[in-house]
């Protein structure tokens, strides 16, 4: 891939890992951060910092990549799309808000931009997309993480995270409810829902398991075309245990696909 100009929204764990990989490959990277962001101190000298989409436009990004959270999707992505930039978002859970999703899709469609959705910490979305129109489709997702990942939620339920003897089901419901309840953790369920039968038809279970090693995602799909079952066990990002390490690599792979003359869909 020839050298590109890429704007990252945010410069936290995922964006910093991604920026390192992009710079090593010769790309020019800038980051859009709030003026008071604590991440400013970690941005290397050769990564320009901008604080508004207007300022970002002067950088003339060929692609914008969001790795900043649901609020950034609401606050920054509409303006990027209305300037015709393609935007790859990792905080897909924000799209559980129907109005926001429709607004972003409309702006992208009418201004020549493109809203690109990252598969992030999950895989096999190609299969889910292929069966998404099946008559008898049933898609279920289960998240299983150790108590350390859910310490605050466990305490709120009266459990001691350090002394949990058996698993606790924290949530069961639809992907729409899950994305709203856990904005930092359930982007994966949102990606599955959007690839498949939608937010209200995708079943989600969130389990805290003292025997769990790492963050596991289990997906089952059944339809008239057959069955699919996968389990992915992700290691946490060294810089943020709430995010999986693989996410920055997944974004890098998506960026390479976006600019490549050959794409695997
Ligand atoms: N799709 C997936 O599989 C997946 C997996 C993990 C995380 N994520 C998403 O990626 C996001 C980033 O993860 P992280 O581990 O890098 O988080 P982090 O907390 O380490 O970093 C967040 C960064 O975003 C910046 N930021 C926050 N709000 C902003 C705004 N409105 N405008 C500009 N910058 C803003 C912060 O200053 C910080 O630099 C998460 O919030 C989550 O939504 C997606």
33 lines ligand 1 (CB under 6 A): yes
Q: Which two tokens stand for residue 8?
A: 């990252």
- Check residue 254 and give its pLDDT: 97
Q: Which two tokens stand for residue 252?
A: 């890098």
- Pocket lining: 243 vs ligand 1, CB cutoff 6 Å: yes
Pocket test for ligand 1, best of 12, 74, 178 (most atoms within 8 A of CB): 12
Q: Which residues contact 45 (CB under 8 A, 6 or more apart)?
A: none
Return the domain boundaries, the chain.
5-117+245-259, 125-234
pLDDT, tens digit, for every residue of 105-123? 999 999 999 999 999 999 9
Rounded average pLDDT over 4-33: 98
Q: Is 104 helix (H, G, I), strand (E, B) or coil?
A: helix
Instruction: Calculate what percentage of the chain has a pLDDT beyond 70.
Output: 100
pLDDT for position 37: 96
Q: How far apart are CA 12 and CA 29, in angstroms?
A: 14
Neighbouring-strand partners of residue 117 = 89
- Is the predicted pLDDT of residue 62 greater than 80, yes or no? yes
Dist. CA 83 → ligand 1 center (Å): 22
pLDDT at 146: 87
Residue nearest to ligand 1 atom 41, measured at CA:
69
Q: Are 216 and 235 in contact (CB under 8 A)?
A: no
Beta carbon of 125 within 6 Å of any ligand 1 atom: no
Ligand 1 pocket residue status of 188, Cβ below 6 Å: yes
The response to whether residue 9 sits with its C-beta less than 6 Å from ligand 1 reads yes
The predicted pLDDT at position 262 comes to: 96
Comparing 34-43, 94-103, 236-245, the range with the smallest average pLDDT is: 236-245
**Catalytic machinery residues:** 217
**Which pLDDT does position 250 carry in this prediction?**
97
Domain 125-234 in the same topology as domain 5-117+245-259: no
Domain 5-117+245-259, CATH: 3.40.50.720
One of 3.40.50.1220, 3.30.360.10, 2.60.40.1930, 3.20.20.150 is the CATH number of 125-234, namely: 3.30.360.10
Q: Each residue of 125-140: pLDDT tens digit?
A: 999 999 999 999 999 9
> For residue 90, which of 109, 74, 73, 114 has the smallest C-alpha distance?
73
Q: How far apart are CA 73 and CA 91, in angstroms?
A: 7
Q: Are strands 168-174 and 226-234 parallel, antiparallel or unpaired?
A: unpaired
Q: What does the mean pLDDT of the chain come to?
A: 95
The pLDDT-based confidence of 214 (bands split at 50, 70, 90) is: confident
Q: Which ligand 1 atom sits closest to the C-alpha of 119?
A: 1
How are strands ordered across the β-sheet holding 138-145?
168-174, 202-208, 138-145, 215-223, 226-234
Which pLDDT tens digit goes with each residue over 228-249?
999 999 998 888 877 889 999 9
pLDDT recorded at residue 65:
98
Residue with CA closest to ligand 1 atom 21: 12
pLDDT score of 174 more than 90: yes
Beta bridge partners of 226: 223
Bridge partners, residue 142, by sequence: 205, 218
Span 183-210, pLDDT tens digits: 877 899 999 999 999 999 999 999 999 9
Q: Residue 221: CB within 6 Å of ligand 1? A: no
What is the helix (H) or strand (E) element at residue 143, kind and residue range? Answer: strand 138-145
Coil, helix or strand at residue 114 = strand
Residue 237 CA: nearest ligand 1 atom is 15
pLDDT band with cut points at 50, 70 and 90 for residue 60: very high
User: What percent of the chain has pLDDT above 90?
Assistant: 87
* 3-class secondary structure, 235: coil
């Amino acid at each position: 891939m020839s050298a590109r100009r890429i704007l990252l929204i945010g410069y936290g764990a995922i964006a910093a890992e991604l920026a390192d990989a992009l710079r090593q490959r010769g790309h020019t990277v800038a980051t859009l951060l709030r003026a008071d962001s604590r991440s400013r101190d970690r941005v290397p000298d050769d990564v320009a910092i901008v604080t508004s989409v207007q300022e970002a436009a002067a950088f003339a990004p060929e692609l914008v990549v969001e790795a900043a959270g649901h609020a950034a999707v609401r606050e920054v992505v509409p303006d990027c799309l209305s300037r015709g930039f393609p935007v790859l978002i990792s905080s897909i859970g924000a799209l559980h808000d129907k109005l926001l999703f429709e607004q972003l899709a409309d702006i992208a469609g009418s201004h020549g931009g493109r809203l690109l959705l990252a598969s992030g910490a999950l895989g096999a979305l190609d299969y889910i997309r292929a069966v998404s129109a099946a008559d008898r489709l049933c898609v279920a997702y289960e998240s299983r993480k150790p108590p350390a990942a859910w310490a605050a939620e466990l305490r709120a339920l009266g459990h001691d995270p350090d002394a949990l003897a058996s698993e606790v089901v924290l949530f069961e419901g639809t992907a729409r409810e899950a994305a709203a309840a856990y904005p930092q953790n359930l982007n994966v369920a949102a990606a599955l829902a959007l690839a498949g039968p939608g937010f209200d038809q995708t079943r989600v279970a969130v389990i805290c398991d003292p025997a769990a090693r790492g963050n596991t995602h289990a997906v089952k799909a059944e339809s008239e075309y057959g069955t699919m079952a996968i389990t992915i066990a992700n290691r946490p990002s060294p810089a943020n245990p709430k995010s999986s390490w693989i996410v920055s690599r997944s974004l890098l792979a998506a960026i390479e696909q976006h600019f490549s003359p050959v794409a695997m869909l």
